[in-house]
Amino acid sequence: MREQLLAAEKVKAIEWRDGALHLLDQRVLPLEEVWHAYTTAAEVAEAIRAMVVRGAPAIGISAAYGLVLGARARLAAGGDWKAALEEDFQVLADSRPTAVNLFWALNRMRERLERLKVEEDPLLALEAEALGIHQSDREANLTMAQLGVELIRKHQGNLQNLLTHCNTGALATGGFGTALGVIRAAHLDGLVERVYADETRPWLQGSRLTAWELANEGVPVSLNADSAAAHLMKTKGITWVIVGADRITANGDVANKIGTYQLAVNAMHHGVRFMVVAPSSTIDMALESGDDIPIEERDGRELLEVGGRPVAAGVAAVNPVFDVTPADLIDFIVTEKGVVERPDAAKMAQLMCRKRLH
């Protein structure tokens, strides 16, 4: 199946070429396909903050390349370039708070920096590390897609109606996708009747990105208002909710796009299985539980305006863009190291001791 999945890898959102980071602008999809080139760490940080690039793994990969750009400028400036590079680490780390992949990738870059030997070219070494982070995410996607499909096949063999939230596909990762990777692979395996894609207010990752990715591949997809999910679970024979994650804590709690928590509550009520798909770079064993995860709050204008026009003038808005699903509402966490069923602290610790499966 791996070969089949590789052949199906079409859309890319991140490219490193000619010494620059090229990002497909996710703010204007699907109406326009616009690429921007970035040549400084500060520009990459701003692209992450403004959500030109988004999705936990994609943010981490972009930050790693951003650090390479920072190192290039600091080396050219001479002097104590490693000390000066700390500013770039900081500006990239400050771009978004919730997805731990960002900090994981920056830590990996820092570790590589600390391991530099005198005879090594620092820039080549850091570039190789960033490329390695990108490639390993791509491979993790393929492994998770296979594991997720096996789970679906094991639990129900016939055609499935699946529901997903936000965008977790090629646009959000270095390769095939996490949750959407499982869904795409399930479709290739002939297991999908229909995918219900939550529109994912307020930023509309579902309408603008997930529906686009699935429609491009001929996957039968229907877009629905987020608030329709419980009704659809009751009336449309949905068997799985499949979502990604931005941070998973040591006890198996999962932070993901706002609205995920209510999906999990509803899935439990309706006997619908709940699968979280995320690479181990999304797991933060330093945090005991989801209560410790910093939840990003974005500008209220995302709610108060539509296309720049006010729709609810004169009131305040509260706009947390992630929520935390408690571990006891989750049936499976699928990672490239294996699957955890009914996650808890002991099972998460065991998972993290395992090697990657491929």
Ligand X SMILES: CSC[C@@H](O)[C@@H](O)C(=O)COP(=O)(O)O
| Shortest reach from residue 32's CB to ligand X, in Å | 18
The distance of closest approach from Cβ of residue 115 to ligand X in the complex, given in angstroms and rounded to an integer, is 29
- Residue 149 binding ligand X, by CB under 6 A: no
Is 284 labeled as catalytic in the residue annotation?
Answer: no
**Residue 26: CB atoms within 10 Å:** 24
Tokens 């499935």 belong to residue = 160
To the nearest whole angstrom, how small is the minimum distance from the Cβ of residue 290 to ligand X?
14
Q: Which two tokens stand for residue 222?
A: 């229907």
Say whether 19 counts as a known binding-site residue: no
Q: Which of 88, 137, 198, 246 is catalytic?
A: 246
Report residue 231 CA to chain centroid gap.
Answer: 27
The span of 54-62, 112-120, 153-161, 328-336 binding ligand X (CB under 6 A) equals: 54-62
Give all strands of the β-sheet with 14-17 in edge-to-edge order: 14-17, 20-24, 35-38
Cβ neighbours of 116 (radius 10 Å): 13
Q: Which is nearer to ligand X, 166 or 351 (CB)?
A: 166
Residue (of 78, 166, 69) closest to 123 by Cα position: 69
**Which region among 143-151, 170-178, 331-339, 341-349 touches ligand X (by CB under 6 A)?**
170-178
d(CA 342, CA 358) in angstroms, rounded, equals: 23
Backbone angles phi, psi at 229, to 5 degrees: -60, -45
As a whole number of angstroms, the distance between CA 333 and CA 17 comes to 34
Name which position in 61, 321, 324, 333 contacts ligand X (CB under 6 A): 321
Asked if 275 contacts 241 with a C-beta cutoff of 8 angstroms, the reply is yes
Q: Binding residue per annotation — 55?
A: yes
Is residue 52 close enough to count as binding ligand X by CB under 6 A? no
Closest Cα to residue 266, out of 238, 295, 224, 225?
A: 238
**Binder among 88, 198, 213, 246 for ligand X (CB under 6 A):** 246
Per CB under 6 A, 141 contacts ligand X: no
Exactly one of 95, 136, 161, 205 binds ligand X (CB under 6 A); which one? Answer: 205
Number of residues that bind ligand X (CB under 6 A): 17
- Contact status: 99 vs ligand X (CB under 6 A): yes
Q: At what angle do helices 81-93 and 101-114 cross, to 10 degrees?
A: 170
Nearer to ligand X, 213 or 246 (CB): 246
339, 355 contact by CB (below 8 A):
no
* Binder among 178, 239, 251, 325 for ligand X (CB under 6 A): 178
346 belongs to an annotated ligand binding site: no
280 binds ligand X (CB under 6 A): no
Shortest distance in whole angstroms from residue 86 CB to ligand X:
25
Q: 5 by DSSP, 3-state: which?
A: helix
Residue 246 CA, distance from chain mean position: 6
Q: List the one residue out of 19, 10, 8 whose CA is nearest residue 68.
A: 19
Q: Is 308 annotated as a binding residue?
A: no
- Name the residue whose CB lies closest to ligand X: 244
Q: Is 205 annotated as a binding residue?
A: yes
Q: Choose one: 9-17, 53-61, 67-75, 347-355; the region binding ligand X (CB under 6 A).
A: 53-61
Look up residue 309 and give its two tokens: 């026009």
Q: Is 273 annotated as a binding residue?
A: no
Q: Which of 257, 267, 334, 340 binds ligand X (CB under 6 A)?
A: 257
H-run or E-run covering 262 = helix 260-270
173 is a site residue for ligand X (CB under 6 A): yes
Q: Is 45 in the site for ligand X (CB under 6 A)?
A: no
Q: List contacts with ligand X (CB under 6 A).
A: 54-57, 99, 166, 168, 172-173, 178, 205, 244-246, 256-257, 321
Annotated active-site positions, please?
Answer: 246
